[in-house]
Amino acid sequence: MGSSPRPAGGGTHVLDGAACADAREARARGAAASANANANETSAQHASAASAAGAAAYGPPEAAAGVRDALECVFDAVAETRTDCARLLAGVAAEGRRPTTADLADLRPGLHERLAQLDLMSGAGFVAAPGLLDDAEAWLEWWQTGPGGDVRPLLLDLDPEHSAYSDYTHWEWYALARDTGRRAVAGPYVDYLCSDEYSLTLSAPVNVDGRFTGVAAADVYLPDFEAAVMPVLQRLPGPACLVNSRGRVAVSTYARHLAGSLLKGPDFASAAGAAGAGDADRTGTDARGAQGAQDARDLQGAQDARPQDAGLAGAGAGAGAADATAEVAEVAGDTGVAEVPEVAAGAEYDGLSLWPCGDIPLILVTAAGGGASAED
pLDDT tops 80 at residue 303 = no
Q: What is the pLDDT of residue 269?
A: 74
pLDDT at residue 264, rounded to an integer: 83
Mean pLDDT of 211-236: 95
pLDDT band at residue 326 using 50, 70 and 90 as cut-offs: very low
pLDDT of residue 314 exceeding 70, the answer is no
360-367: strand order across its sheet: 249-252, 240-243, 360-367, 352-357, 347-349
Which has the closest alpha carbon to 107: 72, 74, 71, 143?
Answer: 143
pLDDT tens, 152-190? 998 876 666 655 557 889 889 999 999 999 999 998 888
Q: Which of 10-19, 73-82, 244-253, 316-325 has the lowest mean pLDDT?
A: 316-325
Instruction: Supply the pLDDT for residue 236.
Output: 95
Average pLDDT value for residue range 113-118: 95
Chain center to CA of 244: 11
Least trusted range by pLDDT, from 9-23, 48-62, 269-283, 362-376 = 9-23
Q: Are 22 and 37 a contacting pair, CB within 8 Å?
A: no
Tens-place pLDDT, residues 87-110: 999 999 999 999 999 999 999 999
| pLDDT for res 298 | 39
What does the pLDDT read at residue 256? 86
Alpha helices (runs of H) in the chain, residue ranges in sequence order: 17-57, 60-94, 101-104, 108-117, 172-180, 222-234, 268-276, 289-298, 305-317, 322-327, 332-335
Average pLDDT over residues 74-78: 97
Q: DSSP readout, 271-285?
A: HHHHHHGGG---SS-
Q: Which residues contact 354 (CB under 8 A, 6 or more apart)?
A: 266, 268, 271, 343, 345, 346, 347, 348, 363, 364, 365
Residue 330 has pLDDT above 60, yes or no: no
Indicate if the pLDDT at residue 12 is higher than 50. no
Dihedral sign (CA 124, 128, 134, 136): positive
CB 44, CB 337: distance < 8 Å: no
**Amino acid at the residue 115:** L
pLDDT of residue 300: 36
Label residue 272 by pLDDT band (50, 70, 90): low
